Structure 1
């Protein structure tokens, strides 16, 4: 009887080592002086100097902010298309954008990659996307874990999880408590579907409509199905940092909602204090063609679309009425369209 080995069980440690050797350069491109070197260590080190490099303030009474999320079944689209270099951006975005909802500066990021088999090329593409997302979020990738789990995952399957840690000055914390009647809701444009609603999108596009990733969609400018569905989630860290720094003497942003599963209404209602009521104007912003396309293909009810997808708004700010126009112009100066999509009333 032959002796059993780990390789026979589906894990080749030599290939795993090859995979790991490709990752340090992708991590180092995200590092700032606050990252402390620990080559070969079992953890990542980050120095809390709280100099406020991006958010332009020194932290006197800092509050740590932690977020975790994944990419969901958008990964199935990446696997179908054989394109794995953008879902890492989605992973960072889903965590960093959540941290922004508290007004926090995302400091560092860790990833968890679980794969059915070791594939150095695929892993490198995935982590390249995570690295790019961290660059966009001005967040250091200081560590992570890659787990090879045959039998638990299919041969070509993988899953991603991300973990972001940030900081915010206690008296600048955005928690929704200052939201009140008269406040205006600013909806900020998304880059597309972002990373939610893909179970419905995949069913409509691939199962009901029978399309492939290479098919083109004329009503969406001739883009391929894969291009439309794999458009990375927009990371709002830099524009929000400039916005909050510009108004740091006046807290005019009273609430921030990351528009993911549940849509605009449900995510905004999560941050409303008691006594506040949300009134939305559903016709106040242009819905991008990709959402109309999915709705038409699947004959999806408008209410279902609004609850599942972001419908073109990836972030929503609840702001002081007197500064709403100014905030919109500030966002426009940074290349982001926004619309006044609702108001806060007394319940």
Structure 2
């Protein structure tokens, strides 16, 4: 007689899944908005369209974290990586002029660890709080034999809303507009395949190594979560409609490939590279990896996470708004005649 097998014998523990849900419920509660209908546990998340919109457009975004997760595994730190998952989605929604409404996550694991999952979701909930959106659902997939022990993957999906006439698509951008840059916290969630190759293979460092040039451990520098720009910019979008002509979320491809995405034909962006401080992590990676400067600018954000294009005659009021709320920014360039490219000067 062959021994009877259960789902647990195959590597999936349903009881641990239920335990994980119990740990997640209070984290999700932190993010609730008035429009959320129902609670965690349904087959779909329910969200009522906010009142007051005359001609609303829904804007959606989805993304993952990439190989930055490998650094989280090295550090054994899982409570901030969820912020990255939220940030990569909601910042993309923001550049269309939209307010993020809700977020759903997808976490895949080899073997479920309820405490580890709770840490990941705690970061996701924190990201939602920072973005002002609700975490209304998600999926945890336990896939034995697919992921290495202790490892997982995280992705997310978010939906936002904007009045159709307030939608930002770059069409309002004109020659002479100024470009303001909001600083990044570091690498955010891009370029980690190169960064890890340099840091751990070429330089032979570990995540625990303290790097004098960085003033912190390598793990701390590389694991710092992506900045969420919603509450920095949304007050201007709502309070001063029309003064922001376009925005670009500086992700993979850096400034040189993301800013052109919001430039109309016949225009380029002139970016002055000495107008903001270059974070130490970029100089350290460039030196340790002997990375060509062109590759640095096409791989990393180089210290600017969001580019905001404003009319020159209205830039003063945007700056005043930022100043009044303590939002740091730099005037990094302007829009010029050209071929939809970025010129670094």
What is the TM-score with the length of structure 1 in the denominator? Answer: 0.94
Residue 325 of structure 1 deviates from its aligned partner by 3.3
- The runs of 5 or more residues in structure 1 that have no matched partner are 51-57
Whole-Å Cα distance in 1 between the matches of residues 39 and 273 of structure 2? 51
Trace 1:187-202 onto structure 2 (pairs within 5 A). Answer: 187-202=181-196
* CA deviation vs aligned residue, 1:271-310 (integer Å, no higher than 9, x gap): 1111212222222221111111111111111111111010
* Corresponding residue to 2:218 among 225, 239, 256: 225
Whole-Å Cα distance in 2 between the matches of residues 342 and 108 of structure 1? 33
Q: What residue number does 1:319 align with?
A: 310
Secondary structure (helix, strand or coil) at the match of 1:202 reads helix
Instruction: Confirm or deny that 1:281 pairs with 2:250.
Output: no
Residue 320 of structure 1 deviates from its aligned partner by 0.4
Residue 39 of structure 1 deviates from its aligned partner by 5.1
* Corresponding residue to 1:159 among 148, 153, 156: 153
Q: What residue number does 1:24 align with?
A: 25
Residue 3 of structure 1 deviates from its aligned partner by 1.8
Whole-Å Cα distance in 2 between the matches of residues 115 and 268 of structure 1? 36
Asked if the contact 1:180/1:346 (under 8 Å) is kept, the reply is no
Instruction: Confirm or deny that 1:184 pairs with 2:178.
Output: yes
Q: What residue number does 2:342 align with?
A: none
Residue 15 of structure 1 deviates from its aligned partner by 1.4
Instruction: Confirm or deny that 1:240 pairs with 2:207.
Output: no
Trace 1:242-321 onto structure 2 (pairs within 5 A). Answer: 242-248=235-241, 251-321=242-312
* Corresponding residue to 1:333 among 299, 324, 345: 324
* CA deviation vs aligned residue, 1:246-280 (integer Å, no higher than 9, x gap): 312xx011111000000012100011111212222
CA RMSD in angstroms comes to 1.2
- Which piece of structure 1 moves more, 159-168 or 328-337? 328-337
Whole-Å Cα distance in 2 between the matches of residues 246 and 6 of structure 1? 55
Instruction: Confirm or deny that 1:209 pairs with 2:206.
Output: no
Asked if the contact 1:92/1:134 (under 8 Å) is kept, the reply is yes
Whole-Å Cα distance in 1 between the matches of residues 41 and 261 of structure 2? 42
- The alignment of Structure 1 onto Structure 2 pairs a total of residues equal to 337
Residue 38 of structure 1 deviates from its aligned partner by 4.0
What is the TM-score with the length of structure 2 in the denominator? Answer: 0.95
* CA deviation vs aligned residue, 1:314-335 (integer Å, no higher than 9, x gap): 0001110112233233223333
Whole-Å Cα distance in 2 between the matches of residues 208 and 333 of structure 1? 44
Asked if the contact 2:39/2:136 (under 8 Å) is kept, the reply is no
* CA deviation vs aligned residue, 1:129-160 (integer Å, no higher than 9, x gap): 00000000000000000000112211222101
- The runs of 5 or more residues in structure 2 that have no matched partner are 339-345
Q: What residue number does 1:82 align with?
A: 76
Whole-Å Cα distance in 1 between the matches of residues 41 and 296 of structure 2? 47
